[in-house]
């Protein structure tokens, strides 16, 4: 059997962190004197820090504030590292795919201690072959580079890979990389938005995908 890769986003896909990011980014912006609506923050989650700030404040913002905002968010979010909740079925799904012969790779904007906390929450390190983090790429999602790098790590071409994510940024990145995309609703983004952005199929959460695995592109 030819090698196949299952590439996963992490925040909102495997770990229930999107709304923690909303609250901690909101507080970071507030501390810096910016009023940013939480609904706008929610739609921006999944972008890398610099892209998220640019998306919400615009290119004409005070760029010198970017590092301060990023540091404040990391400090606020870091308070949750010891209790990040995995989404239902997350670890079980990765372990099942690993047993079925898939090469499992994570593609995430997280890195360092944040990535370590996420992996501890998932608790399936034995199933994870590699991780493409924000440290490894020049451009984050929706650019295809994170997914392309994950495919390089897996040693698998796009046509033998599936990318699972929860945001429109994930779907766009996967589509640009030529990978079949599956969307999950557990990050809070509507089904129609995920489909429009490139999701071939949409599932409720990792447990739902695991329960319906035999009829999915991950068979």
Pick the closest to residue 109 from 64, 166, 156 (CA basis).
166
**pLDDT greater than 80 at residue 172:** yes
What percent of the chain has pLDDT above 90? 95
Total Cβ atoms within 10 A of residue 215: 9
Q: Which residues pair with 102 in a beta bridge?
A: 4
Phi-psi region of 19 (alpha: psi -120 to 50; beta: other; left: phi over 0): alpha
**pLDDT greater than 90 at residue 118:** yes
Task: Give how far Cα 6 sits from Cα of 3, 38, 46, 121, 162, Å.
Answer: 10, 32, 19, 19, 5
3-state secondary structure of 2: coil
Predicted local confidence at residue 133, as pLDDT:
87
The pTM score is 0.97
- What pLDDT, in 10s, does the model give residues 50-78? 999 999 999 999 999 999 999 999 999 99
Count Cα atoms within 13 angstroms, Cβ side, for 112: 4
Predicted local confidence at residue 137, as pLDDT:
87
């Amino acid at each position: 059997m030819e090698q196949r890769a299952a590439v996963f986003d992490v925040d909102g896909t495997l770990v229930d962190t999107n709304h923690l990011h909303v609250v901690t980014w909101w507080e970071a912006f507030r501390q810096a004197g910016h009023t940013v609506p939480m609904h706008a923050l929610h739609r921006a989650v999944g972008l890398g820090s610099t892209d998220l700030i640019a998306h919400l404040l615009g290119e004409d913002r005070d760029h010198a504030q970017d590092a301060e905002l990023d540091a404040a968010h990391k400090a606020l979010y870091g308070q949750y590292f010891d209790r990040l909740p995995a989404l239902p079925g997350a670890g079980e799904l990765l372990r099942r795919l690993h047993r079925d012969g898939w090469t499992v790779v994570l593609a995430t904007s997280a890195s360092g201690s944040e990535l370590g906390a996420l992996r501890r929450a998932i608790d399936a390190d034995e199933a994870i072959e590699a991780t493409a983090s924000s440290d490894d790429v020049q451009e984050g999602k929706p650019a295809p580079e994170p997914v392309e790098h994950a495919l390089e790590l897996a040693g698998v071409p796009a046509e033998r890979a599936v990318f699972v994510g929860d945001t429109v940024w994930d779907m766009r990145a996967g589509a640009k990389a030529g990978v079949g995309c599956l969307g999950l609703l557990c990050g809070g983004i509507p089904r129609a938005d995920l489909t429009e952005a490139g999701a071939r199929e949409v599932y409720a959460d990792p447990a739902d995908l695991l329960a319906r695995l035999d009829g999915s592109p991950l068979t």
